Chains A and B, each alone.
Chain A
Amino acid sequence: MKVAVIRFPGSNCDQDAYHALRSDVGIGAEYVWHQDRSLDGFDAVFVPGGFSYGDYLRCGAIASEAPIMEAVEQFAQDGRPVIGVCNGFQILCERGLLPGALMLNVERKFLCQNVELEAATKRCLWTAGVDRVISIPIAHGEGRYICDDETLKRLNGEDLVAFRYVNGNPNGSTDRIAGVINGRGNVLGLMPHPERATRANLGGTDGMLILKALTLIETSSR
């Protein structure tokens, strides 16, 4: 089992993801540079947080057109697991792999704090292990999830909301949405950082309940 951790210029949660996956989840992980074009030999993709391309133009916009993203799109369309966290979520939305967009927090502050989340769907691997309210950190200035009414109806009707904030809505997201999945449920994007909550000495281990889904995936590694 080997996860591709995609690195863009300006990614800054790539090392957190890499070490959380290897040391805490106990699976393989390798960095993949944004200029690469192949994901051969990988079983899952982790698009990490940060400020890819300095957030120029819009968060995630330029990264969404990087060479590796064609392979990520194909990987996602093949039904294989892709997770995007924070800036990674923004990148997946900009690429059109997930519906909606992330905008400036409603109170305009950069938010760096633990939040409480509930799994809003049971129909994907990512939330299968989340059987209670979990507490994991957010760290973003632009995490207000936005979509139009028609998309919101579809998200709720087709059970595509993965996570909702509970006991508050820190960034003012539509319908308290913290994370969404695609129609097949293999692609997850979320603003909170599970990879920052994998050890007690980091403040908690609830992120493991999401990331351990990766241990259940059938591998194609040779």
Chain B
Amino acid sequence: MPKVYVFVTLKPSLLDSAGRTVADSLNSLGYNEVAGARIGKLIELEIDNPSEERIKQMCDRLLANPVIEDYRFEVVG
């Protein structure tokens, strides 16, 4: 069955406090080259005959919050 990968990311203008923790933690492990980290979500959907319009609806209605997040998706297979 085709898979749809939905990538949900925080809008670039927003402070990602969890991402900051990850960057701080990497720095404390000695990876000082890490200047920042931002955390998003990958949602993997299994959809028979995926329709781009309906996937967009799913994203707008539930999977992403347009106030704080952006999304993009890829249909594979």
Binding site for B on A (CB under 8 A): 57-58, 61-62, 65, 93-94, 99-101, 103-108, 144, 146-148, 172
Binary CB contact string for chain B from 40 to 77 against chain A (1 if under 8 A, 0 otherwise): 00000000000000000000011101011000000000
- Mostly helix, strand, loop or mixed at chain A's interface? loop
A101 touches B65 (CB 8 A): yes
User: Taking A103-B68, A147-B67 as contacts, is the C-beta distance between A108 and B62 under 8 angstroms?
Assistant: no
Q: Does B29 contact A (CB under 8 A)?
A: no
Closest B residue to A61 by beta carbon equals: B62
Q: What are the residues of chain A within 8 A of B21 when measuring CB–CB?
A: 108
B18 touches A57 (CB 8 A): no
Interchain nearest-CB distance for B6 vs A (Å): 11
Cα of A43 to Cα of B49 in the assembled complex, Å: 46
Q: Looking at chain B, what size class is its interface with the partner chain?
A: 10 to 19
Which residue of A57, A65, A94, A107 is within 8 Å of B17 (Cβ)? A107
A103 touches B63 (CB 8 A): no
Q: What are the residues of chain B within 8 A of A93 when measuring CB–CB?
A: 67
Q: What are the residues of chain B within 8 A of A146 when measuring CB–CB?
A: 14, 67-68
Cα of A217 to Cα of B44 in the assembled complex, Å: 47
A-B residue pairs in contact (CB < 8 Å), sample of 9: A62-B62, A101-B65, A105-B17, A107-B17, A108-B17, A108-B18, A108-B21, A147-B67, A148-B67
Q: What are the residues of chain A within 8 A of B1 when measuring CB–CB?
A: none
B67 touches A61 (CB 8 A): no
Q: What are the residues of chain B within 8 A of A99 when measuring CB–CB?
A: 67
Q: Does B15 contact A (CB under 8 A)?
A: yes
Closest B residue to A62 by beta carbon equals: B62
Which residue of B18, B61, B65 is within 8 Å of A104 (Cβ)? B18
Which residue of B14, B15, B18, B65 is within 8 Å of A58 (Cβ)? B65
Interchain nearest-CB distance for B25 vs A (Å): 12
Binary CB contact string for chain B from 12 to 37 against chain A (1 if under 8 A, 0 otherwise): 01110110010000000000000000
Cα of A146 to Cα of B63 in the assembled complex, Å: 18
Q: What are the residues of chain B within 8 A of A108 when measuring CB–CB?
A: 17-18, 21
B15 touches A101 (CB 8 A): no
Beyond A57-B62, A103-B68, 8 additional pairs, beta carbon < 8 A = A62-B62, A65-B62, A93-B67, A94-B65, A105-B17, A108-B18, A146-B67, A148-B13
